[in-house]
Amino acid sequence: MMNFHIESESCRSRKLKLDRALTSTFHPPALLPFRLYFPPHLVSSTYLSMSNIHTINPNAGDELPIQNPWTTKEAEQAKTGRGQSVSGKTGKAPWDRPTNTESVHTPPRNSGFHQAQHLAQSRIQDPFWSDNTPINREQTVPEIMANWSGFGCCVGPCCSPTRKADWRRFFFSFTFIMTAIQTIVFIVECIVGGIHWPSLGPSMHALILLGAKETTRIKCKFQIFRFITPVLLHAGIFHFLFNMFFQYRVMLYREMKWGHGKTIAIYLFSALSATILSCVMSPTTVSVGASGALLGIYGGYVVCIAQDWNKMPNMVKGMHIMNVGSYLLFMLIWSFSSSGIDFGAHLGGFCGGLLISLSFLCQTKILRIIGLVGYLLLTVLPLGLFLFVLPPKC
């Protein structure tokens, strides 16, 4: 931290005038980030004591020189030699010195500016929520845990302009809209079918009534909407909470990278392929849940990792391998260890999302064609097998 001392009373009053002038009339591009991270009195004191200072650009991580501003009356008096300058002495003001490269003041490496720069580079930040804490101090353990676990919205002032912009972006995202619809549908499920043990959710009759995957109604009554509507339904409270947390943690960040349109397309195409493979691999069961569509989003995440693989350092590669491998291993063990898990939907959603993501996310034309053809083979062939070969017979 850099401290500046001003002794005279007249200099303190002029410092306040200069600070008001800075905040109301003069806003150079590099001044605003500086004022965000340091108190106003430190800014004005810095301008009074130095001809050129350095501050930290939070976007680029480098240092930018700030030229000292001119005020109207006092600066003119200082230039002409009349009156008293802001520094308390008669004559030219401190900022009226040459501003060539030889006179630019560079703070020492152990100064407060470089310490703040080091803190900014070592901070753990949530991928979606903006960093809403002062950059010139270390993060606390609760702040690190919140940013690491995906709850950066809980860090810092909740009503700051930065956080309000984050909330507006979140409320207009497809992730939030889909989560809100699924929450309303789950409440309707519990009202219609009651809450039953051990799933703590509605009855199977209520799920079938509201649009669950049921092969007889799809094949014999042509209720093709049941290829998509299972993504809105959940069998119980724990099933619902697990899928919504995974949807928030994975799909929100992918939507920020891909955009709304690609995220919606990958989500819905993955839900379709998940239901089709579920009809083929489990034709006699009733299934619901958004896990197939979410695994399709995860398949798109794998495509993004493969695209940027050669650009990543080895440590980042290892982190991605651990992340993807641990989750897929968990889903594989969970799918086979429980009789109530629809493995066909999980497999169809992941493979369908991976293939359709090649068409939407890859820049190479041949990969787009491979992804589209692969997705058509994955869905059309099992669909024909389900309609013309497998039970039930209509």
- pLDDT of 92-149, one tens digit each? 444 444 444 444 445 555 455 445 545 455 567 777 888 777 777 777 888 888 877 7
- pLDDT of 45-80, one tens digit each? 333 333 333 333 444 444 444 444 444 444 455 445
- pLDDT of 259-275, one tens digit each? 999 999 999 999 999 99
In a domain, 70, yes or no: no
In a domain, 34, yes or no: no
Q: How many residues does the chain have?
A: 394
Cα 254 from Cα 378, distance rounded (Å) = 24
In a domain, 94, yes or no: no
Class of residue 184 by CB neighbours under 10 A (exposed 0-12, middle 13-18, buried 19+):
exposed
Cα 392 from Cα 380, distance rounded (Å) = 19
In a domain, 203, yes or no: yes
SS3 260: helix
| Residue at token pair 């200099």 | 11
The boundaries of the domain holding residue 381 are: 171-388
In a domain, 292, yes or no: yes
In a domain, 17, yes or no: no
Cα 322 from Cα 15, distance rounded (Å) = 55
pLDDT at 40: 35
Give the model's confidence band at 390: pLDDT under 50 very low, under 70 low, under 90 confident, else very high: confident
Which two three-digit tokens encode residue 169? 């972006």
In a domain, 262, yes or no: yes
Query: What CATH number is given to the structural domain containing 214?
Result: 1.20.1540.10
In a domain, 151, yes or no: no
pLDDT at 13: 57
Which two three-digit tokens encode residue 208? 């079938």
* Nearest in space to 152 (alpha carbons), one of 51, 274, 252: 252
Count structural domains, the chain: 1
Q: Is 114 a catalytic residue?
A: no
Catalytic position from the list 273, 278, 346, 357: 346
Query: Which residues 6+ apart lie within 8 Å of 19 measured at CB?
Result: 40, 41, 43, 44
Catalytic position from the list 45, 291, 357, 359: 291
* Nearest in space to 269 (alpha carbons), one of 294, 244, 293, 289: 293
Q: Is 291 a catalytic residue?
A: yes
